[in-house]
Amino acid sequence: MDERETTGTATAMIVKTTAGDETGTRPLAGTGVSPGTGYGPAHVLVGEIPEPDKEARHDGDAAAERDRAERAVEQVAADLEARGARAGGEAREVLGAQALMARDPSLAMEVGDLIEQGVAAPRAVFDAFGKYRDLLAAAGGYLAERVADLDDIRDRVIAVLTGLPMPGVPADAAEPFVLVAKDLAPADTALLSKDVVAAFVTEQGGPTSHTAILARSMGVPAVVGCAGATAIAPGTPVLVDGASGQVLLAPDPARVAEARAADEARRAVLSAATGPGATADGHPVPLLANIGGPRDLESALANGAEGVGLYRTEFLFLDRETAPSGDEQEEAYRAVFEAFPQGRVVVRTLDSGADKPLAFLPPPEEEPNPALGERGLRMFRRYPEIMAAQLGALARAAAGVSAKVQVMAPMVATVEEAEWFAEACRTAGLGDAGVMIEVPSAALRAADLIRAVDFFSIGTNDLTQYALAADRQVTAVAGLQDPWHPAVLDLIALAASAASGAGKGCGVCGEAAADPALACVLVGMGVTSLSMGAPALPWVRAALSRHTLAQCRAAAVAARSATSAQAAKSAARAELPGLGALAL
């Protein structure tokens, strides 16, 4: 039996598929990033713009050629903005950002320089964009996922210059279709709605790619990282499960009916669980949202978040060359505090470095292992003035708001670091200071660390990376990046019990909290709150509401008694019978 596993879904589930189903059609599998079932004919996005001739030269009038290139770029940027304005909401921001990227002066300069050397405009555009593409791809993480945006702009500009049809999706399909592509750019998806797209399937992209973000904001099921998807014959009926990541080709009608019925039943279960997070026997577990800035608030509130458990402040400043001003920071923080007048907001100070490089906080030199280098709090040791500015802005923003504001530092490894950070918070006037537990040393000595701070929040993404020595950004070791591993569970249990012994809170804000089964296990280990990407909230709320605290504890014991991630997951699930109703 050919089995494969994929990690890192929106709900952080491990997906297991087998080759061949009962219809005899080989299913495809990827990462489910937007749950739900979608069914319809495949619309395979093709029409790649061919690479312009390497040797193509213009007729000698460089000024005219430059002008032509500039007008083409402007036409594309204006078109992106117009599409954004028509679509509204999040698409407006995404397309606006893409238009800004198109108008980047350094790109224009690069194109102009090549044209001065005699290169024809289409080739100059191709080469100039190629240079920036490589830089983004090499940066990894969030930045690498912007490569699709840049490629899309390049293809659109070349289409204008060469008179080719604009790449993209037809807006006039007769019935809802499953949109299949190598990767999707914001311009492809902006004008689409739930009424025309049954599901998205892409070969590339991860949980933070635009396909994932937009699919979730549209409420359309999506599977990314699905190898072989673009080989699907156009028009083939496709059944997509955006939770498990399974993609079935030409399924039996009975199978489709079954999937639809299961989806409806699942939705009924999801909407039956409302209100604050709690187990079936009433043990409260506040359910909080992970956000990257004020624009994520709408979804957090819509999904019933009781507050924010992780405000990733570096996402406000990812594309900045200079440090943001105190006033600008204060405004962004206050907007979030005011959205939860009765709730709590846990702000993480800048987590720069490794997968989240910030241009204004560069490491001193090229690091051989950035994940083990100067990142997170370590960067503040180098730039204490940036920490003081951020803590000052947070204290000013927190003054006079009713939300409970908590501040925490990422990447803390020692008691001394925890003390240093807590002291800096107090000096700034912030009385509720915590640390993230994402380094094994911090978990192992959690009983020492908790004396220095007011709370813990466990970052299971990094804790898993460091416990298993598996870089988050290296696909080849993705199989090891599994928070179900009993070694990771043991570290979490250590932190939770140290916090509880001191009468302090211990939340989880890594992807593990978004996995409904693992969320029950975390609660069973003594974790006191769970924070996740907003779309996962209803799933976790429903899973908790269907199990007692005793069942969660039994699941935790079972999981920790196992010797592998897969066995831990199976053992826990056997103790959690209520998951069946969610078809998980």
Footprint (CB under 5 A) of Mg ion, residues 538-567: none
Nearest to 513 by CA among 479, 537, 495: 537
Q: Which stretch binds Mg ion (CB under 5 A): 176-184, 198-206, 257-265, 460-468?
A: 460-468
Of ligand PEP, Mg ion, none, which one does residue 145 interact with (CB within 5 to 8 Å by kind)?
Answer: none
CB nearer to Mg ion: give 230 or 473: 473
Q: How far is the CB of 460 from ligand PEP (least distance, A)?
A: 5
**Which H helix or E strand runs over 446?**
helix 446-449
CA 83/CA 468 separation, integer angstroms: 44
CB nearer to ligand PEP: give 90 or 351: 351
Cα atoms in the Cβ-side hemisphere of radius 13 Å centred on 214:
31
Question: Is residue 201 helix, strand or coil?
Answer: strand
Dihedral over Cα of 92, 97, 101, 105: its sign: positive
CB nearer to Mg ion: give 52 or 533: 533
DSSP letter at 241 equals: E
CB nearer to ligand PEP: give 459 or 538: 459
CB nearer to Mg ion: give 206 or 245: 206
CB nearer to Mg ion: give 307 or 459: 459
Active site residue 547: no
CA 104/CA 60 separation, integer angstroms: 26
DSSP code string of 34-87: E-SEEEEEEEE---PPPPPPTT-B--S-HHHHHHHHHHHHHHHHHHHHHHHHHH
Of Mg ion, ligand PEP, none, which one does residue 312 interact with (CB within 5 to 8 Å by kind)?
Answer: ligand PEP
Identity of the amino acid at 336: V
CB atoms within 10 A of CB 341: 9
CB nearer to Mg ion: give 477 or 581: 477
Active site residue 485: no
Question: Is residue 577 helix, strand or coil?
Answer: helix
Q: Which stretch binds Mg ion (CB under 5 A): 18-26, 113-121, 455-463, 571-579?
A: 455-463
Strands 15-18, 3-6: parallel, antiparallel or unpaired by DSSP? Answer: antiparallel
Of Mg ion, ligand PEP, none, which one does residue 417 interact with (CB within 5 to 8 Å by kind)?
Answer: none
Q: How far is the CB of 107 from ligand PEP (least distance, A)?
A: 29
Own/partner contacts of 380-387, CB < 8 Å, gap of 24 or more, are: 380/349, 380/350, 380/409, 380/421, 386/323, 386/350, 386/360, 386/361, 387/349, 387/350, 387/424
CB nearer to ligand PEP: give 122 or 459: 459
Q: By CB under 5 A, is residue 483 in contact with Mg ion? A: no
Q: How far is the CB of 351 from ligand PEP (least distance, A)?
A: 6
When binding is defined by CB under 5 A, the residue of 84, 459, 524, 535 that contacts Mg ion is 459
Tokens (6 digits) for 249: 């080709």
Cα–Cα distance list, 412 to 301, 308, 383, 561 (Å):
30, 21, 16, 28
Tokens (6 digits) for 556: 């935790």
DSSP letter at 12 equals: -
Identity of the amino acid at 526: G
Question: Is residue 3 helix, strand or coil?
Answer: strand
CA 560/CA 576 separation, integer angstroms: 15
Q: How far is the CB of 465 from ligand PEP (least distance, A)?
A: 8
Nearest to 491 by CA among 444, 538, 433, 555: 444
Q: Backbone phi, then psi, for 354, in 5-degree steps?
A: 55, -115
Residue 411: exposure state from Cβ atoms within 10 A (0-12, 13-18, ≥19):
buried
Catalytic residue among 226, 509, 520, 552: 509
DSSP letter at 222 equals: E
Catalytic residue among 210, 485, 506, 520: 210
How many positions of this chain bind Mg ion (CB under 5 A)?
3
CA 199/CA 266 separation, integer angstroms: 17
Q: Which residues of the shown chain bind ligand PEP in the complex (CB under 6 A)?
A: 310, 312, 351, 438, 459-462, 509-510
CB nearer to ligand PEP: give 245 or 410: 410
Q: How far is the CB of 445 from ligand PEP (least distance, A)?
A: 19
CA 124/CA 127 separation, integer angstroms: 5
Nearest to 199 by CA among 140, 272, 117, 263: 263
Q: How far is the CB of 519 from ligand PEP (least distance, A)?
A: 14
CB nearer to ligand PEP: give 81 or 462: 462
Of Mg ion, ligand PEP, none, which one does residue 27 interact with (CB within 5 to 8 Å by kind)?
Answer: none
Q: Which stretch binds Mg ion (CB under 5 A): 124-132, 194-202, 312-320, 452-460?
A: 452-460
Q: How far is the CB of 468 from ligand PEP (least distance, A)?
A: 13
When binding is defined by CB under 5 A, the residue of 203, 296, 462, 515 that contacts Mg ion is 462
Q: Which stretch binds Mg ion (CB under 5 A): 23-31, 317-325, 382-390, 438-446?
A: 438-446
Of ligand PEP, Mg ion, none, which one does residue 279 interact with (CB within 5 to 8 Å by kind)?
Answer: none
Longest dimension (CA), the chain: 79
Q: How far is the CB of 462 from ligand PEP (least distance, A)?
A: 3
The residues of the shown chain that bind Mg ion, judged by CB under 5 A, are 438, 459, 462
Positions marked catalytic: 210, 509
